Structure 1
Amino acid sequence: MRILLVEDEHALAETVRRGLKNEGFVVDVAHDGIRGLSAALENPYDAILLDLMLPRMNGYDVLKELRQRKVWTPVLMLTAKDGEYDQTDAFDLGADDYLTKPFSFLVLVARIRALIRRGAPARPVVMRLGTLSLDPVSHSVCRGQTPISLTAREYGLLQYLMRRHGQIVSKAEILQNVWDPAFEGADNVVEVYIGYLRRKIDAPFGLHTLSTVRGMGYLLSADPSPGSRDGGFPGA
């Protein structure tokens, strides 16, 4: 079983390499994102261990590029960052697992073996809600066949609402998950961006899928989508 380890901490990389070699793996090592991406594109691997904070090209961008090129090798992210939003971003881009440093080597080996057992079936990562679609890899949004241009903040807000589609989400939840848990500005910024979204994803199409539930928050629902029973997307 052949593994690619992309890790810029040389001592850690060597420790992991030796340990995995003793477990029967063949391990290639890259110490920056560019070299890691090149190796992953040129060689068949059973799994990739990918650090998040890498020189030259970070782990998010490496993963994004791999999935854009339809390389579906299972990827386990290794990182010192343990924020919920960081994990969500990794999974949205197509990561298969996430392990926070420092980690148990025994747990690492178990996770790798589990990934290899599951294999690497091709899987789309596009989120769909009725005629609305959002591609986390290309950061593109469409209503039917019509592309919708969003700012980074609008995109983040829509992505969160699509994950929570059919549920009422409060301003506080949106601020914590789309802005920052430590955000100290006025919460009416949420109302402003909800308005921006409505003018882009609903108004031009004569729809009202993004609604305000007075005193509670906001609700994103699906418009009727031909061939879809509930308008939702797989895994929601």
Structure 2
Amino acid sequence: MIMPAISYKRHRFSPQIIAHAVWLYYRFPLSLRLVEEMLLERGIVVSYETIRRWGLKFGPDYSRRLGRKRPGPNDIWHLDEVVISIAGDIGFGRAVDQDGYVLDEIVQNRRNIKAAKRLLTRLLKKQGVAPKRMITDKLRSYGAAKRQVMPDVEHRSHKGLNNRAENSHVPLRKRERVMQGFRSPGSLQRFVSIFSALRNLFVPPRSKRSALATHIHRLQAMAEWEAAVGKLA
């Protein structure tokens, strides 16, 4: 499906500056004030609040235009959850594949069968194909939900096998500290939808970790990013 071009009408700054500010904020562990300072160093005077509004307005459009990794029947899904403190503890479930690519993530209030089933149902709908194997920690609700949603998929439940999912929480934890926490479950969900889309694009898979492969991957990622934000139009 061809998406309509992103409109930058009635914005004083150019699309290049807006896209660059959004890229800096979501791609690197930077606060809004640090992005403001980096732009100022280049002679661009813009407030951190304006950068925040740019992220909210253009970030979802940018992330929707980025290509997604093609799913396959030999994929392995690693599922895990982490607790985020937002006026009390909020559950946050994430699924990654064998390469660490973020498949989906969802804010949930509970760690029960209903929450696990919701995540699996979303995953199956988004991916369009069931995985070869599902790996989780010892949380029993995953096994119960798996038997209802995709009973034929192999399930391994062992904390030692799920480092891939647990390690995927580290970048978000770093951002949480930089941002001094999230204000609401909705703001967390909006942030990670953009943050993970950029991370999926720019971080090379485990099979491409040589210096040359990483360099080529990042050049290709930058070209795809520029096309998505309309800088090559």
TM-score interval (norm. to shorter) = under 0.3
Higher relative contact order (CA 8 A, sep 6+): 2
Larger helix share, 1 or 2: 2
Task: With the length of structure 1 as denominator, give the TM-score of the two structures.
Answer: 0.25
Larger strand share, 1 or 2: 1
Highest CA radius of gyration, 1 or 2?
A: 1
